[in-house]
Structure 1
Amino acid sequence: MSLKRRSLALTCAITSSIVLVGMTGTAAAQSSFVSGSSGLFSSESPATPSAPKNIIYMIGDGMGYNHVSATNLFETGQTRYQVEGEPGAVTPVEGGDAVQVFEGPEWIQVAQSTFQDGNSYDPQRAWADLNYVNENFTDSAAAGTAMATGTKTTNGMIGVDTAGETLKNTSEHAIEQGKAAGVVSSVPFNHATPAAWAAHNSNRNDLHAMADEMIASDLNVIMGAGHPFYDNNGNPIATADEDYMLASQYQRLANGETDFTFIEDDADFEKLANGDVSSTKYFGLAQVEDTLQHGRDGDSVTPYDVPQNDVVDLATMSEAALNVLNQDEDGFHVMIEGGAIDWAGHANDIARDIEEVQAFNTAVETVVAWVEENSSWDETLIIVTADHETGYMTGPNNDPNWSALTGAAGLVPNHGWHSGNHTNQLVPLFARGAGSADIAAAADQVDPVRGNYIDNIEIANLTFNKWW
């Protein structure tokens, strides 16, 4: 079975056997709901130590509330997080059980603001004006930098502040603490989000320079797409496509001229995922150009109606990375990105958006299983969130009022798109394990619909100033 089909089979198997659990919480947790809120903020989450030994930061790039909802609808025919009503009188839609593993009662659930330096999020304006969230939005560079460094910056800037001065990221901080660190992505390894945890550049498009910086870095794991000798269908090409990586950079890795053990064959990712690890530093370059699956040829009407690439999936890369990083007895930090959710959102492509969210969800399931087999919730923290929302996905009729997504299992939900870009919406954040109670406590701002929320600099600052 190919790695791609193994991932899909895992998703389908889990979906078909999942026990739906309502998230009403304890009485104390219920009392902490904001009136009308669909977001749970509870200090009654299971007690765990405050400082995690390991941090696993999982980012669905562009994955707003309705991206999660659309996937839940496709899988089960029901959902949550939906809102409807006229501006100024928006209310949550009742109902909706937990579907994904991170929606279960063991996880704290809050919202997160995402704006870049100089902008803001106004909870009242967000629900009083349909167009407000289409203004002053962040990009992945600024959002990733905020999440990685604890400092806001300007769109287009990676790992530097608004003046272009270098900022320390939590990967570097982990390494200073004697821990291992890595980045994993379903899009090019030096794209904005993984680069935010691995590079420093005032221009997110300076991809070759960031590739050089990452290749020369102290990271233990770098895995992603961006192969110069393969196309978007996973087919080899004779002349290098150097959009992300120069042929000379590839040759240095492939010829063993760097500190990394280089892998690119699917079978080698599989070996690492199965625990066959022989080095403390791996650079894994998937044999595809832009994305693992989103960029493949063919127009999708429903998910998976176009055959997928037979290329390593995000779940396998994630497990491989964890097995490498877990060799460090002092612990590790890793950022794992489902990056092509954002690409599907920009394209307003609901079929591939669901595919990408499912691939990300399967990676989360794999990581949760890895923690329970190889670590524990007393020493490991998993954070599942987004850097921003992309596409302004809503129900089918969003003018002049908000409308809810609707649909049945196995069908593309009834939906609408209202942007080809990012938005300034709050995004969901789920966390479980050591340190999760600190995240809940830091979510001290209140949105009238989403409930308590945290800003995107807070978790990095907890990492720097409290945990590590």
Structure 2
Amino acid sequence: MKFYNLKKKATSLILSGSLLLTAAMPNAALAKDLVAQDKPLAKNIIVMISDGCGYNQLDTASMYQYGKTGGQVYEHFPVKYGMSTYSEGSYDPNLAWGSFDYVKSGATDSAAAATAMSTGVKTYDAAIGVGIDGTSLKHVAERAEELGKATGVVTSVQLSHATPAGFVAHNASRNDYSGIANEMIKDSATDVIMGAGNPWFDNNGQQITAPNTFKYVGGEATWQGLVDGTLEVADANGDGIADPWTLIQTKDEFIDLIDDKTPERVIGVPQVFTTLQQGRSGDDKAEPYAVPMNQNAPTLAEMTKGALNVLDNDSDGFFLMIEGGAIDWAGHANQSGRVIEEEIDFNKSVEAVVDWVKENSNWGETLLIVTGDHETGYLTGPGSDPTWEPLVNNNAGNLPGMQWNSGSHTNSLIPFFAKGDAARLFKSYADETDPVRGKYIDNIEIAKVIFEIMK
């Protein structure tokens, strides 16, 4: 049995009252129609972001996993488009395929991209949940909380890094990690936060005698308050009483969260400092899995399953953002083996979500979005520039032939996938066409659709 989080806010009371009213109406058919019109398009909304992943990052992982492209479960979703990601600039399809160098400029950063996907508003690079003029913007998660839904963010990098922060916090700079972490942990109504940044462990998952910086977890006082349970926090469920966090750190605690009883609020900080796996020592240019993995860190899929087990206790539904954050880091460092490791870890987390929908929900009430925030590294096939050469498939278990052309973000289109009855809403937004990728949406339209669902 689980502990059930019975969030009841004003909207729930209004809904109950409307149901009583329609039950008393003489025209039962009319009442049924009114209720159907008010039925939400999705009870649960899950956004999964492979940070730094473009089309070729996806294909290299599939070639390594399956010896072919098109092997990922989300590549068979009914809704498939490209997505533009620029922050303050633009994307020109003709220039993108007319000049090899065009996409090397005009790229977004992860903060602006996360803010765009979370609020529906373009902003400047480094901005977290604020507009170009610095005013706070409403996140889709905040709208979900207004409707009584549970909310959560999960990442394979630090919990206060740009992407999770961009779905919860409001800050002029992504670099204010401590301020962002404190807003997320102490002030927000978020029910689940999971990510790295543990100050007492290094990137190899080894405990250290003197702590690293506490900034990713809000400072030493905030961390100690989480550890001993004395931290003053927000009222997350609207009942007027503060809702303390349950802190988990060990891999076993993350595993236990998958099937065991769950507390109402969970903050999970694995025993690693910056990333679950990508930052571990050893030959960082080795082939995938040649360097032993950190054994004390949960996988992103395990974190995802635990988060779902907490959030699905809410009868009103939930919003969850899951990020494979270190795909971007491996792209910046041009680490072919580790970008594949990180993308596969992300892919397995998508499979975990799909399995959860099949076992615990359905595609009529759950919307799943799988995409990225931008491409990193300008990954192509070998011999590219000035033309684009294809990746070389060297069969499953072998590193594909690939070439990095940058150590930064690019302004390339990236893939977008969605499944669920509500996914059909994206069709009206896919009103631009790229000569290679076909129809595409813009990243702000993710939030626009989600807000439309949660009117």
Which position in structure 1 is the counterpart of 2:268?
A: 284
Question: Structure 1, unaligned stretches of length 5 or more?
Answer: 1-48, 80-97
Q: Contact between 1:50 and 1:436, CA under 8 Å: does it hold in 2?
A: no
Which position in structure 1 is the counterpart of 2:412?
A: 425
Pairwise CA distance, 1:50: 7.4
- Is residue 371 of structure 1 aligned with residue 357 of structure 2? yes
The alignment yields a C-alpha RMSD, in angstroms, of 1.2
C-alpha distance in structure 1 between counterparts of 2:121 and 2:381, whole Å: 34
Which position in structure 1 is the counterpart of 2:185?
A: 215
> Please, which of 101, 107, 112 is the counterpart of residue 137 of structure 1?
107
Pairwise CA distance, 1:400: 1.9
Alignment of 1:72-111 (within 5 A): 72-79=62-69, 98-104=70-76, 106-111=77-82
Q: Contact between 2:143 and 2:454, CA under 8 Å: does it hold in 1?
A: no
Letter paired with 2:413: L
Q: Contact between 1:64 and 1:428, CA under 8 Å: does it hold in 2?
A: yes
Alignment of 1:22-421 (within 5 A): 51-79=41-69, 98-104=70-76, 106-117=77-88, 119-216=89-186, 217-242=188-213, 243-245=215-217, 246-258=219-231, 259-274=244-259, 276-299=260-283, 300-310=285-295, 311-408=297-394, 409-421=396-408
Pairwise CA distance, 1:267: 1.2
C-alpha distance in structure 1 between counterparts of 2:434 and 2:358, whole Å: 34
Pairwise CA distance, 1:74: 1.2
Pairwise CA distance, 1:278: 3.3
1:50–1:99: structure 2 CA closer, same or farther, 3 Å change rule?
farther
- More divergent stretch after superposition (451-460 vs 434-443): 434-443
- In the TM superposition, what whole-angstrom CA distance separates every residue of 1:56-103 from its partner, at most 9, and x where no partner exists? 100000010000011111123332xxxxxxxxxxxxxxxxxx301111
Q: Contact between 1:145 and 1:153, CA under 8 Å: does it hold in 2?
A: yes
Q: Contact between 2:262 and 2:309, CA under 8 Å: does it hold in 1?
A: no
Q: Contact between 1:59 and 1:387, CA under 8 Å: does it hold in 2?
A: yes
Letter paired with 1:295: G
Which position in structure 2 is the counterpart of 1:19?
A: none
- More divergent stretch after superposition (346-355 vs 410-419): 410-419
C-alpha distance in structure 2 between counterparts of 1:183 and 1:466, whole Å: 20
Pairwise CA distance, 1:433: 0.8
Letter paired with 2:205: G
Identity of aligned residues (%): 50
Query: Per the alignment, in what secondary structure is the counterpart of residue 322 of structure 2?
Result: strand
Q: Contact between 2:99 and 2:386, CA under 8 Å: does it hold in 1?
A: no
Pairwise CA distance, 1:362: 0.4
C-alpha distance in structure 2 between counterparts of 1:51 and 1:390, whole Å: 33
C-alpha distance in structure 2 between counterparts of 1:161 and 1:411, whole Å: 44
1:396–1:272: structure 2 CA closer, same or farther, 3 Å change rule?
same
1:466–1:381: structure 2 CA closer, same or farther, 3 Å change rule?
closer
C-alpha distance in structure 2 between counterparts of 1:253 and 1:50, whole Å: 36
Letter paired with 1:176: E
Query: Per the alignment, in what secondary structure is the counterpart of residue 222 of structure 1?
Result: strand
Question: Structure 2, unaligned stretches of length 5 or more?
Answer: 1-38, 232-243
**TM-score, normalising length: structure 1:** 0.84
Which position in structure 1 is the counterpart of 2:19?
A: none
Query: Per the alignment, in what secondary structure is the counterpart of residue 49 of structure 2?
Result: strand
Letter paired with 2:370: V
Letter paired with 1:363: S
C-alpha distance in structure 2 between counterparts of 1:130 and 1:177, whole Å: 46
Higher Cα radius of gyration: 2
Query: Per the alignment, in what secondary structure is the counterpart of residue 97 of structure 2?
Result: helix
Pairwise CA distance, 1:466: 4.0
Q: Contact between 1:50 and 1:437, CA under 8 Å: does it hold in 2?
A: no
- Is residue 454 of structure 1 aligned with residue 444 of structure 2? no
Q: Contact between 1:50 and 1:434, CA under 8 Å: does it hold in 2?
A: no
C-alpha distance in structure 1 between counterparts of 2:66 and 2:147, whole Å: 44
C-alpha distance in structure 2 between counterparts of 1:323 and 1:375, whole Å: 12
- In the TM superposition, what whole-angstrom CA distance separates every residue of 1:12-34 from its partner, at most 9, and x where no partner exists? xxxxxxxxxxxxxxxxxxxxxxx
Letter paired with 2:221: S
Letter paired with 1:329: S
- In the TM superposition, what whole-angstrom CA distance separates every residue of 1:138-189 from its partner, at most 9, and x where no partner exists? 0000000000010000001100001111011011110001101010000000
C-alpha distance in structure 2 between counterparts of 1:277 and 1:296, whole Å: 32
Query: Per the alignment, in what secondary structure is the counterpart of residue 111 of structure 1?
Result: strand
Which position in structure 2 is the counterpart of 1:438?
A: 425
Pairwise CA distance, 1:355: 0.1
Query: Per the alignment, in what secondary structure is the counterpart of residue 343 of structure 2?
Result: helix
Aligned length: 399
Query: Per the alignment, in what secondary structure is the counterpart of residue 158 of structure 1?
Result: coil
Q: Contact between 2:80 and 2:415, CA under 8 Å: does it hold in 1?
A: yes
Q: Contact between 1:240 and 1:247, CA under 8 Å: does it hold in 2?
A: no
Letter paired with 1:437: R
Letter paired with 2:429: A
Q: Contact between 1:395 and 1:416, CA under 8 Å: does it hold in 2?
A: yes
- In the TM superposition, what whole-angstrom CA distance separates every residue of 1:400-448 from its partner, at most 9, and x where no partner exists? 2110001222211111111101000000001111311111332111111
Q: Contact between 1:318 and 1:336, CA under 8 Å: does it hold in 2?
A: yes
C-alpha distance in structure 2 between counterparts of 1:361 and 1:388, whole Å: 17
Letter paired with 2:155: S
